[in-house]
Amino acid sequence: MAFIASYRIFPIIINVSVIKNLTASPNERSSHNKKTPNLGGLGISFGAFLISAFFGSLMLDTEMVNILLSIAVSLIILFYAGIKDDLIGLSAKVKLFVEVISASIFIYLTDIRIDSFYGLFGINELPAILSYTFTIFVFIVIINSFNLTDGIDGLAASIAIIIFSCLLYYFINTESILAITSISSMLGSTLAFLRFNISKGKLKIFMGNVGSLVIGFVLAVFTTMVLSSKFSSINFISNKPVYILALFAFPFLDTIRVIILRVISGKSPFLADKNHLHHKFLEVGFSHIKSTFFIITYCLIIISFSFLLFDANILKHFILTLGLSIVFLLLIIWVLSKLKN
């Protein structure tokens, strides 16, 4: 139902955007050569919010409805910031401030936070202050690393679909109706967006900052729920931090790599450039779709191997998964450099 709701609204958003000139113009950082509507996040949010609110009101108890409303409050703030950024622009500092405020509101209203490392590095339960601080940090990292994947057709949406699907699998097995309804709604709406994002015709649209902020925040919310012993006390998957690392391996590592390159070259780590892995694929002649396919294959390999390499020792499991993620990423970069030369 979320897919249908979003699928029907996207043509309207695209046509209005074209008529009102609410489009993204090509610039030195873009991978496109013509003006394109960039309010795809509106369509994603419409379908997801409508269906999750409808089924949530029918199926959730009072406590879960309060959590859903807390998520909605934070998302409204991010939604406003994303719309403003897409239409007139926002500075990186303002967006960071909005992300911190939104994350803080969610954590304060629900007290859902990352309160344990589950034995990773010998750390189990976290002190309250450290727990709150680290959770806000995780929100910022997930939102911004996901935002940086939104550079070519289909990539950000495909990564979101993979992560949402894995999170949905987790929450189905832990029987969380709140998470199941919310993630299913986001999954359906993102699938509908993907159809229009990879289109070559007139009905093409970009996710925009409103889309990447909303999806990034929702991913951060349910990641926090997985890692929160308060919300997710059932130990369905051992080594939860490693599970999350595998899901976000590409966004995390590519972001860290780009920041390191910027610092080494004496540039601001917040300065946009074309050093992301998807740009490297384009430089050697791959299309947007082929580039997305290879990156998504990388993501699926890391997730699969993380399960295959499972070890009861969480630190060993963490090192194996992280090491494999880095090696595979470096191998891809090496191959691309050879193709470029």
- Interatomic CA distance for residues 249 and 72, integer angstroms: 27
Q: What is the mean pLDDT of residues 78-101?
A: 91
Q: What is the mean pLDDT of residues 211-237?
A: 90
pLDDT (0 to 100) of residue 33? 63
pLDDT (0 to 100) of residue 31? 60
**Structure-block tokens of residue 57:** 């009101």
CA-closest candidate to residue 306, choices 232, 233, 250: 250
**Structure-block tokens of residue 137:** 């940090």
pLDDT (0 to 100) of residue 295? 97
The string of DSSP codes covering 157-188 is HHHHHHHHHHHHHHHHHHT-HHHHHHHHHHHH
- Interatomic CA distance for residues 133 and 284, integer angstroms: 41
pLDDT-derived band at 235 (thresholds 50, 70, 90) equals confident
Interval 128-161: pLDDT, tens:
999 999 999 999 999 999 999 998 999 999 999 9
Q: What is the mean pLDDT of residues 153-178?
A: 95
pLDDT-derived band at 230 (thresholds 50, 70, 90) equals confident
Q: What is the mean pLDDT of residues 250-258?
A: 94
Q: Mean pLDDT across the chain, nearest whole number?
A: 92
Q: Does the structure show a pLDDT above 80 at 223?
A: yes
- Interatomic CA distance for residues 153 and 297, integer angstroms: 16
pLDDT-derived band at 300 (thresholds 50, 70, 90) equals very high
| Bridge partners, 36 (sequence order) | 24
Close Cβ partners of 89 (under 8 Å, ≥ 6 residues apart):
none
Q: CB-hemisphere CA count at 13 Å for 177?
A: 12
pLDDT-derived band at 26 (thresholds 50, 70, 90) equals low
Q: Does the structure show a pLDDT above 60 at 28?
A: no
Question: What percentage of the chain carries pLDDT values higher than 70?
Answer: 97
pLDDT-derived band at 72 (thresholds 50, 70, 90) equals very high
Poorest-pLDDT segment among 52-56, 93-97, 198-202 = 198-202
- Measured over the CA atoms of residue 66, residue 72, residue 77 and residue 78, the dihedral's sign is positive
Q: Does the structure show a pLDDT above 70 at 299?
A: yes
pLDDT-derived band at 200 (thresholds 50, 70, 90) equals confident
In contact, 285 and 338? CB cutoff 8 Å: no
- Interatomic CA distance for residues 27 and 138, integer angstroms: 31
pLDDT (0 to 100) of residue 266? 81
Residue 171 CB burial class (10 angstroms; 0-12, 13-18, ≥19): buried
In contact, 149 and 250? CB cutoff 8 Å: yes
Q: Does the structure show a pLDDT above 80 at 280?
A: yes
pLDDT-derived band at 35 (thresholds 50, 70, 90) equals confident
The string of DSSP codes covering 139-163 is HHHHHHHHHTTTTSTTHHHHHHHHH
- Interatomic CA distance for residues 163 and 86, integer angstroms: 25
Q: Does the structure show a pLDDT above 60 at 29?
A: no
